[in-house]
A and B are shown apart, each in its own frame.
Chain A
Amino acid sequence: MNPPGAVRGRSAIVAVGNTEQGELPGISADELAVEGLRRTLAQAGIAKGAVNGLITCKSYGGFGIDTAIGRLAGMNPSYSATLDYGTCNFSLHLATAVIEAGLCDVVAIVYGTTQRSQRNTFSTPLGHPDESSVYGFLNVAGPAAMAFRRHMSLHGTTEADLGEVAVSQRRYAVDNPLAIFREPMSLEQYLAEPYLVEPLRRSDLCMISDGAACLIVASRERARDLTDKPVDVLGIAQQTGLRDRQNADQWMRPWIEQVAERIYPAAGISQADVDALYIQDPTSMWVLQMLEYYGFVATGGVGEAFRRGAVGHGGRLPLNSNGGQLSEAYMWGFLHLCEAVRQLRGDAGERQLPGIEVAQYCSTYGFMKAASTVLARSR
């Protein structure tokens, strides 16, 4: 019997697409989501009528509900749902589950946001209201900075070590026309930035942006009708930390380790088979955490791993080759999956990496959930 999460190509991504990213005034979040869908279908030559499943992702301001998007897009899919925390991996996993159950066989996953134009400042405390607001503990920068200072104290990590994450990602973004931040950035420039939430700097945090992204996921049977370059979902894994503040070391998120234990058996690969790695990065600290929990680097060894070329730009294991959220755009992780699919299909243009057969994507939803997906070029 297969291990849990062993999708093994029974679902495949057949198309990805996106709109421009940045500040896009004059269009609603839901219209933007539908525009992402339109472009994705048009580029892939897939008819809207072929889509019989719709999974949307709630976006800032109460947008992104499946019933509203379906109405706007003129669709009566056999199945639809909205995830409050779509953040890409979770939406993709739901798509594979409903395809597996036979509820539909071509699912459009859509996400659109205008949170930059709507001036989302992420100024409300994360999670349940508590003493955070009294002391001004706002924005994900707070918990991430807490986790980083503790990591420095426990493991001797330095600010220059963490800086390697943002610097490496910027090197990729220079070659990415979609990226918002394309100016080269050296480690010295990083270290010269003022603190935002000390010990984190501006470049450790992603900038809020507008945009849309879309993925089309199909059953193995339908995938071959829709594209000659499907990308197989090999395996998926998840774990929650819903106890939130009742979890010890809550901002270290140690339960991510359980996803790391499950994902490789699920995909039927070993970690050494991963040719390109994607880690969702609202903050560089989450990249550091996931590199360690998934075992790509030793605890406390992230800076060294970048410096000796084990991971990152120009290294043996490419990491966030789109520039990630830190440099490309804040699409709640959706653009990491779009990039992984483009690399696997050989569609990444200037950024195309050689010999990418297997890619892994790791993401989290704050302090609540973690997920990972392994994708492979279909054989």
Chain B
Amino acid sequence: MTESLALDAPFWEGARTGELRFQRCTDCGFLRWPAAGVCPECLSRSAVWEAVEPVGTVWSFVIYHRSYSRSAPPPPYLVALVELDCGVRLITTLAGSSADHTVGMRVRARFEEFLDRGVVPVFAAVE
């Protein structure tokens, strides 16, 4: 499922080796996500994939109680936006009970099997 020839392939490959990777512009240094062929700051096309510290803060999270697509996870399922300390905002999911989750919670990525998607980042509260 996360096998991809698309621009974001190195992100999913990184997850399988336990790393959170994003594109860093080699001209202006801006770290970007979602993956793109152009730096949204300086418009350079030159970038390298770089591993970051996989820690951040929960911006918000929601729980889907219905399925909008056959390819979606079986409901109920949780989706979160995590603001990583490196500046990137990542759509992801959170491990554990949603009753314990809060906006502003500090989280760290684990790399786990997720449905049929293979190994992907899943965030859990920092103890």
Contacts and interface: CB of A to CB of B under 8 A. Distances in A.
Interface stretch (A2-10, A141-149, A268-276): A141-149
B34 A245 contact: yes
Interface stretch (A126-134, A212-220, A227-235, A369-377): A126-134
Contact of A150 (B8, B59, B73): B59
A121 B93 contact: no
B124 interface: no
B72 interface: yes
A130 B34 contact: yes
Interface centre among B1, B34, B68 (most CB of A within 10 A): B68
A25 interface: no
Interface string B4-40: 0010100100000000000000000000111100001
B97 interface: no
Given A137-B79, A142-B79, A245 B89 contact: yes
B102 interface: yes
A170 B61 CA distance: 28
Interface string A344-371: 0000000000000000000000000000
Contact of B34 (A128, A147, A149, A196): A128
A128 B38 CA distance: 14
A121 B67 CA distance: 10
Contact of B68 (A139, A149, A250): A139
A123 B72 contact: yes
A131 B89 contact: no
Contacts of B69: 121, 123-124, 136, 138
A158 B33 CA distance: 32
A282 to B, nearest CB: 14
A24 interface: no
Given A123-B69, A131-B8, A197 B92 contact: no
Nearest to A200: B62
A154 B104 CA distance: 10
Nearest to B11: A131
Contact of A198 (B32, B65, B89, B90): B65
A309 interface: no
Nearest to A246: B40
B68 A122 contact: yes
A308 interface: no
B111 interface: no
B68 A146 contact: no
Nearest to A144: B62
B43 interface: no
A150 B60 contact: yes
B42 interface: no
Contacts of B60: 146-147, 149-150, 153, 251
A199 interface: yes
Given A146-B60, A250-B89, A123 B103 contact: no
A110 to B, nearest CB: 29
A153 B90 contact: no
B65 A136 contact: no
Contacts of B89: 245, 250
B73 A136 contact: yes
Contacts of A136: 64, 68-69, 71-73, 77, 79
A131 B62 contact: no
Contacts of A142: 62, 64, 79
Contacts of B93: 135
28 contacts: A121-B68, A123-B68, A123-B69, A130-B8, A130-B35, A131-B11, A131-B34, A132-B91, A134-B2, A134-B114, A136-B79, A138-B64, A138-B69, A142-B62, A142-B79, A146-B59, A146-B61, A146-B79, A147-B60, A149-B61, A150-B59, A153-B102, A153-B103, A194-B65, A196-B66, A198-B65, A200-B62, A245-B34
Given A243-B40, A246-B40, 12 more contacts: A121-B69, A123-B68, A123-B69, A123-B72, A130-B91, A135-B73, A136-B64, A137-B79, A197-B64, A197-B65, A198-B62, A198-B65
